[in-house]
Amino acid sequence: MGMTIAQKIIKMHLVDGTMEKGTEIGLRMDQTLTQDATGTMAYLEFEAMGVPRVKTERSVAYIDHNTLQSGFENADDHKFIASIAKKHGIYFSKAGNGICHQVHLERFGSPGKTLIGSDSHTPTGGGIGMLAFGAGGLDVAVSMAGGAYYIPMPKMVRINLTGKLSDWVSAKDIILKVLSILTVKGGVGKIIEYAGPGVKTLSVPERATITNMGAELGATTSIFPSDEVTKEFLKAQGREADYKELSSDSDAVYDEEYDIDLSALSPMAAAPHMPDKVKTVEEFGAIKVHQCCIGSCTNSSYYDMMKVASILKGKKVHPDVSLVISPGSKQVMAMLIQNGALYDILSSGARILECTCGPCIGMGQSPGSGEVSLRTFNRNFEGRSGTADAQVYLVSPETAAVSAINGCFTDPRTLGKMQHIKMPGQFLIDDSMILKPAPEGQDVEILRGPNIKPFPIGEPLPENYAGATLLKTGDNITTDHILPAGSKLLPYRSNIPYYSNYCFANVDPDFPKRAKECGGGIIVGGTNYGQGSSREHAALVPLYLGVRAVLAKSFARIHSANLINSGILPLVFSDPSDYDKINQGDELFFPNLKKEVEEGQTITILNKTTGQTIKAESGVSGRQRDIILAGGALGNAKKQS
Ligand code: MIC
Ligand code: SF4
């Protein structure tokens, strides 16, 4: 039987298990990446493993999320990461060099290779034919140490692209269309593969926009074939030697197939506060706009910026709009300066930010109260911008730029004829902000600032457990709900005790106090609990506050793995309607917890407040069972050593 692209890469990297749908497989990771907001924790965990040198082909540490350095905390954390990188064989991309996913695509991404990153948008690498996964820091640390990365063998989905995008319709509109079909839960447990004659009409950055937002589908990852377009991109980056052709076999079997005719698409937008609340820009009408932000790992490539510059050239931003633009990398910025496009952008009245995540993760540029912000980013979760009642829409760079000029939501097709942007035959290559590690064996001092506090380690699973329902949430709770980021909190990613004061801050600010008073307990959630980012802090902080289990209708993949790694048990209601049998504050009792987990049985839960019985499944693999029983992955590793 023929194979899909993903199956071929999986087969070449399989070190544990068999490629049977739903069963756990272990994959060798060729490359790893970290960013600063998750990196400190990942490297602390790597240090705890006692491995002197990374065992991957290439590992890179990026500083791109919090570069404000508004206090000593970040500056110190960045020094810690730099010194760890130097010592252990990791390349270090300095603050200002660009957003991890954009730089990785430009300088390191390689078709057919596996990549794991402590950031949920690592699947951006799928645009260049990599099998790239977002994961918690601990899983990345294990991969750096040479261990396998475990996932349930995913289902295969094929999205068949035909036709060609019309003028003013872009890659962002394709992925928004996919989100409107599959929703934010539709990709869970699946790898999305793009295929068909439409593929060759899309450049590598356009493909990367699409695979980037596969994270918003909840997909395990997304991937494009590697073809002549990929080869040209790599050649223009001076890396033709990294090229490898990749395509699926003609008789490959997919679990689901969808067709999208690119020529039939219109500019799209996702309404507040979910990436799948998609309609066409036209359908939204001329809503007044206060802010437009162009950038993020989704839409900050040279190609995107040139399209924006061509729209802004000779025009002025509307007096009531703030237009902020963050090019994705130093390479992009330098090329815009060199060819004069930055002048066109600047003269329009746009504000230029550093080449970082910036407003995407709430590092400034929070909109005013109730204001409308159009963003080319990938997430518009409530409060993520830093303003609780801001109305954030996700749009393409074209829609953002033209709306910034008009002061209201505008379909870019109203601009008439479009100037076509050509991909450069040669990118400007200057890797001077990527520092090479020290030679093996060289003495390197690790610089550890006072912001780095010890992280919590879970306790082995008790025979039975009694605890209060500390919180009951609805569906689609994001990690931004569980643990907000933004400029005020991002400096404390290495300081779990401090960060814990903000757990569920935008959902129920009393949660941390209540959790401490009750001596810990249980969280009850709806469907897709923990969607969004890969931040393992969304598990480590609840662990610090004494949370022992999360009982939900379903979980997002990365968060569920992070809970297990931390030693918190993710449990799924056997009957989803049992969700109604628990109220916040109810006392729950798990009479045979350890035995039932050990034996892979259904878990019995007694609601002592109402007298009702509830059943739940732990659904963990044998490997995960050992981790849970030991109280988390680090505890388990210690037990084994
Ligand atoms: C995000 O987009 O939410 C982040 C910030 O990049 C996160 C990682 C983090 O929380 O540090 C992600 O996507 O994994
Ligand atoms: Fe950075 Fe935003 Fe991309 Fe996350 S989604 S990596 S915060 S640009």
Residue 423 has pLDDT above 90, yes or no: yes
Does 381 reside within a domain? yes
Same domain as 293, residue 231: no
> Is residue 637 included in any domain, yes or no?
no
Residue 609's pLDDT is what? 98
The pLDDT of residue 175: 99
User: Hey, which of 502, 533, 541 would you mutate to test ligand 1's pocket, going by the most ligand atoms within 8 Å of its Cβ?
Assistant: 533
Region of residue 466 (left: phi > 0; alpha: psi -120 to 50; beta: else): beta
Rounded to the nearest whole angstrom, what is the distance from the C-alpha of residue 360 to the centroid of ligand 1?
9
What is the Å distance from ligand 1's center to 528 Cα?
17
Q: What is the pLDDT of residues 72-123, one digit of tens each?
A: 999 999 999 999 999 999 999 999 999 999 999 999 999 999 999 999 999 9
pLDDT, tens digit (0-9, with 9 covering 90-100), for 109-150? 999 999 999 999 999 999 999 999 999 999 999 999 999 999
Q: Which of 67, 119, 209, 294 to mutate to test the pocket of ligand 2 (most atoms within 8 A of CB)?
A: 119
Of all protein residues, the one whose alpha carbon is nearest to atom 7 of ligand 2 is 361
Rg (CA), the chain: 24
Q: How far away, in angstroms, is 578 Cα from ligand 1 center?
A: 32
Instruction: Determine the residue type at 58.
Output: R
Q: Does residue 193 contact residue 158 with C-beta atoms inside 8 Å?
A: yes
Q: Which one of 273, 379, 384, 548 is the catalytic residue?
A: 379
Q: For the residues of 108-148, what is the DSSP string, one character each?
A: T--TT-EEEESSTTGGGGGGGT-EEEE--HHHHHHHHTTPP
Test site for ligand 2: of 66, 293, 297, 299, most ligand atoms within 8 A of the Cβ: 297
Which residue, judged by its Cα, is nearest atom 1 of ligand 2?
357
Helices 397-406, 302-312: crossing angle, 10 deg rounding = 20
Find out whether the peptide bond into 88 is cis, omega within 30 degrees of 0: no
Is residue 550 situated within a structural domain? yes
Whether 636 shows a pLDDT value over 90: the answer reads no
Domain-terminating residue out of 221, 244, 264 = 264
pLDDT in tens, 153-177: 999 999 999 999 999 999 999 999 9
Q: Confirm whether 508 is a catalytic residue.
A: no
For residue 399, give both structure tokens. 């829609």
Residues 490-535: pLDDT tens digits?
999 999 999 999 999 999 999 999 999 999 999 999 999 999 999 9
The CA 254 to ligand 2 mean position distance, Å, reads 30
Number of domain units in the chain: 3
Looking at the structure, tell me whether residues 81 and 20 fall in a common domain.
yes
Q: Ligand 1 centre and the CA of 120: distance in Å?
A: 6
Would you state the structure tokens that stand for residue 209, as one six-digit string?
């926009």
- Specify the DSSP element, H or E, that contains 565: helix 557-566
Q: Do 318 and 405 sit in the same domain of this protein?
A: yes
| C-alpha count within 13 angstroms, C-beta hemisphere, residue 230 | 26
Alpha helices per DSSP H over 213-301: 228-236, 281-284
Query: Is residue 360 in contact with ligand 2, taking CB distance under 6 Å?
Result: yes
Quick one: tokens of 623?
């490997």
> Residue 64 CA: which ligand is closest?
2
Query: Is 533 annotated as catalytic?
Result: yes
Same domain, 255 and 297: no
338, 410: one domain: yes
Beta strands in 305-455 (DSSP E): 322-325, 351-352, 372-375, 391-394, 434-435
Which residue carries 């890179």 as its tokens? 60
Q: Are residues 340 and 410 in the same domain?
A: yes
Ligand 2 neighbour 480 (Cβ under 6 A): no
Q: What percent of the chain has pLDDT over 90?
A: 97
Specify if 431 maps to a domain: no
Dist CA 474 CA 516 (whole Å): 22
The reply to whether 72 and 175 lie within a common domain is: yes
**Ligand 2 midpoint to CA 18 (Å):** 33
pLDDT score of 619 = 86
Q: What secondary structure letter does DSSP report for 188?
A: B
* Secondary structure (DSSP) of 456-524: P-PPPPPSSEEEEEEEE--SS-BHHHHS--STTTGGGTT-HHHHGGGTTTTT-TTHHHHHHHHTSEEEE
Atom of ligand 2 nearest to the CA of 101: 6
Among 66-70, 231-235, 270-274, 574-578, whose mean pLDDT is lowest? 66-70
pLDDT value for 325: 98
For a ligand 1 pocket test, name from 40, 211, 535 the mutation site with the most ligand atoms within 8 angstroms of its C-beta. 535
The arithmetic mean of pLDDT across residues 269-294, rounded, is 98
Residue nearest to atom 2 of ligand 1 (CA): 533
pLDDT at 639 over 70: no
Determine the atom of ligand 1 nearest the C-alpha atom of 493.
11
* 207 neighbors 171 (Cβ within 8 angstroms): yes
In a domain, 448, yes or no: no
Verify whether residue 65 is a known catalytic residue: yes
How is residue 210 written in tokens? 């699409």
- 25 and 86, same domain (yes or no): yes
Distance 357 CA to ligand 2 centre (A): 5
Instruction: Pick left, alpha or beta for residue 249 (phi over 0 → left; psi -120 to 50 → alpha; otherwise beta).
Output: beta
3 state DSSP class of 626: helix
pLDDT tens per residue, range 324-383:
999 999 999 999 999 999 999 999 999 999 999 999 999 999 999 999 999 999 999 999
- State the pLDDT at residue 507: 95
Whether residue 272 sits in one domain with residue 258: no
Q: Ligand 2 in contact with 119 (CB < 6 A)?
A: yes
Among 264, 298, 316, the domain boundary falls at 264
Residue 641, pLDDT score: 46
Instruction: Count Cβ atoms within 10 A of the Cβ of residue 447 and give its class: 0-12 exposed, 13-18 middle, 19 or more buried.
Output: middle
In a domain, 429, yes or no: no
Distance CA 204, CA 207 (A): 5
Known catalytic residue at 119: yes
Sorted by sequence, the CB contacts under 8 Å of residue 16 that are 6+ apart come out as 24, 25, 26, 148, 150
Query: Is residue 432 a part of any domain in this protein?
Result: no
**166 and 273, same structural domain?**
no
The answer to whether residues 249 and 279 belong to one domain is no
Q: Which of 482, 565, 554 is nearest to 525 (CA)?
A: 554
Looking up residue 485, the CATH number of its domain turns out to be 3.20.19.10
| Ligand 1 centroid – CA 324 distance (Å) | 20
Q: Of the candidates 286, 305, 287, which has an alpha carbon nearest to the alpha carbon of residue 296?
A: 305
Atom of ligand 2 nearest to the CA of 295: 8
- Per the confidence metrics, is the pTM higher than 0.85? yes
Could you say which of 231, 264, 297 is where a domain stops?
A: 264
Tokens of 148: 């396998």
Q: How far apart, in whole angstroms, are the C-alpha atoms of residue 444 and residue 466?
A: 47
Range of the domain at 553: 465-632
**Closest ligand 1 atom, CA of 534?**
14
At position 525, the amino acid (one-letter code) is G
Ligand nearest to the CA of 118: 1
Ligand 1 binding pocket (C-beta < 6 A) is: 37-38, 65, 119-121, 134, 361, 485, 532-535
378 within ligand 2 shell (Cβ under 6 A): yes
Clarify whether residues 476 and 567 are in a common domain.
Answer: yes
Residues with Cβ within 8 Å of residue 618, at least 6 apart in sequence: 569, 570, 571, 596, 597, 600, 603, 625, 628
Walk across the sheet containing 351-352 and list its strands. Answer: 278-280, 268-270, 391-394, 372-375, 291-294, 322-325, 351-352
pLDDT digits (tens, 9 = 90+) for 207-265: 999 999 999 999 999 999 999 999 999 999 999 999 999 999 999 999 999 999 999 99
The mean predicted confidence, pLDDT, of the chain is 97
**Any idea what the CATH number is for the domain that residue 236 is in?**
3.30.499.10
Q: Is residue 241 part of a domain?
A: yes
